[in-house]
Structure 1
């Protein structure tokens, strides 16, 4: 079987500080079969000038107004032609230059590959592993106790994905991943760190609105009563996590 082509899509708007770091992490991959698409929302802060330096290494670069991050992501999906799709938005990074090669070496012809994520603050200092660790086995039900896999750490076969549902402004990625996972027959845990995630995105800035959307999404897939019970479990785990770390820091 020939090596799969990975479409990596970077969405950016006015992020001159971080865009080059994200792009270099993609362009420095040792895996040769990468189609790189950068979708800019008509930035005005110099971001476009930085992207233009690497234009010859990009499969696609567009800069135009959009209706928000998920509208921009849908533009990228329409233009992607690879066997798999990965979103690596501005500010985030592939974990190291061997990441993509290691992902595809972890199993043959999966519908989905996933791994672990390391968190970083705005000064690009490591905050360690996400509180929600990637599950040993991932199914469409794995999100019922929280988003256990980050958007930057999941590679999905293009034939099983759908456009993002633009009714959701902050959590459409959760809905998108669940939809794809329900169609997946083979899901491979790479058992390695695959992404570095810059904390403080839109879903964090609009945390309450994001939580409301997540509750609606989880209710749609898991049912109202199970979702209410699951959120009680989530609250208990969150309380235990903070109490445990408070004792550690005392």
Structure 2
């Protein structure tokens, strides 16, 4: 089983080396590693070229944003599975991809969902983001599994399409809604903690981002013909607190 890993980057010189080393250190051998750079102006390309032997394919050219770059990576991928590793993230351990491969070999599924940890720049863990209690119906109230923890069969992108460029920060939500809820793909919780993610990502930075992602969640559900309550989506932070207290 070949697993394609895609990293999208732009001016990522401060973090990209740790990400590349994290992939190169994996115990699983059948990895196709693809880097899509958005024509960086710092020394990101020098770092990529330093690890040229550990990278299967890379391109550097202007793009239309994060999700356009992800689509480029998906189009270049030839693996059985596709996973996304952001340019400021690392795998939680050197055996993550081996565990993912074994899980998919043992289960007849289209996708697996797992867990990630979120940490500050100093390494302090601030959150364990788990999919253990998640199910696809929760997309209706604004909850998705952590995107970096999902490994998809590549053929899903051929059948159902890639990331929708009509979204600024919610194209991953729309894609997951389209795959998991609209088209009801077969998935399973892996229990694997895949990724150590640096906090402060595109969709987790302040009130303005919360307002925008709320709007885009509703847009994602509407365009896929999914019934939902706008009020429940707006109040999803409250549902998180209630769920935490119940646990």
* Smaller-chain TM-score bracket: 0.7 to 0.9
User: Any stretches of 5+ residues in structure 1 without a counterpart?
Assistant: 245-250
Instruction: Determine if the alignment matches structure 1 residue 111 to structure 2 residue 110.
Output: yes
Aligned mates of 2:3, 2:138 — CA distance in 1:
25
2:18 match: secondary structure:
helix
Flag the 1:234–1:209 CA change in 2: closer, same or farther, 3 A: closer
Aligned partner of residue 64 in structure 2, secondary structure: coil
1:19 is aligned to 16
**Residue in 1 aligned with 2:174?**
175
What secondary structure sits across from 1:204 in the alignment?
Answer: coil
Say which SS state the counterpart of residue 202 (structure 1) adopts: coil
Pair 1:77-2:74 in alignment = yes
CA pair 241-157 structure 1, distance change in 2 beyond 3 A:
closer
Q: Which residue of 2 aligns with 1:200?
A: 200
Say if 2:217 is the partner of 1:218. no
- Residues 40, 60 of structure 2: 8 Å contact kept: yes
- Could you report, residue by residue, the CA deviation over 1:104-160 in whole angstroms, capped at 9, with x for unpaired residues? 222334210111111112333211312xx3144643x23223333111000000111
| Aligned residues of 2:119 and 2:125 also touching (Cα < 8 A) | yes
CA contact (8 A) 2:214 2:233 kept: no
* Partner Cα separation in structure 1 for residue 124 and residue 226 of structure 2: 39
Aligned counterparts of 1:185 and 1:218: Cα–Cα separation in 2: 16
The offset of 1:79, in angstroms, is 0.5
TM-score where L is the length of structure 2: 0.86
Who is 1:121 aligned against?
120
Residue 212 (structure 2) aligned to one of 209, 213, 217: 209
d(CA) in 1 for partners of 2:77, 2:59: 13
Give the distance between the partners of 2:153 and 2:241, measured in 1 at CA: 37
From 29, 36, 41, the equivalent of 1:39 is 36
Q: Tell me the secondary structure at the aligned position of residue 118 of structure 1.
A: strand
> Distance in 2 between the 1:63 and 1:117 partners?
28
Deviation at 1:228, TM superposition (A): 2.3
Q: How many residues align?
A: 236
**Following superposition of structure 1 onto structure 2, how do residues 143-158 of structure 1 map, counting pairs within 5 Å?**
143-158=139-154
Contact 2:170 2:217 in 1 (8 A): yes
Q: Distance in 2 between matches of 1:81 and 1:192?
A: 24
Structure 1 residues 62-88: Cα deviation after superposition (integer angstroms, max 9, x where no partner):
111111001111111111111111010
Counterpart Cα distance in 1 of 2:90 and 2:32:
16
Query: For residue 100 of structure 1, what is the aligned residue in structure 2?
Result: 97
Rounded to whole Å, the distance in 2 between the matches of 1:15 and 1:188 is: 33
8 A contact 1:5–1:35 mirrored in 2: yes
Query: Do the aligned residues in 2 keep the contact of 1:138 with 1:187 (CA within 8 Å)?
Result: no
Superposed CA RMSD in Å reads: 2.2
Using a 3 Å threshold, how does the CA distance of structure 1 residues 127 and 137 change in structure 2: closer, same or farther? closer
Question: Is the counterpart of residue 236 in structure 1 residue 238 in structure 2?
Answer: yes
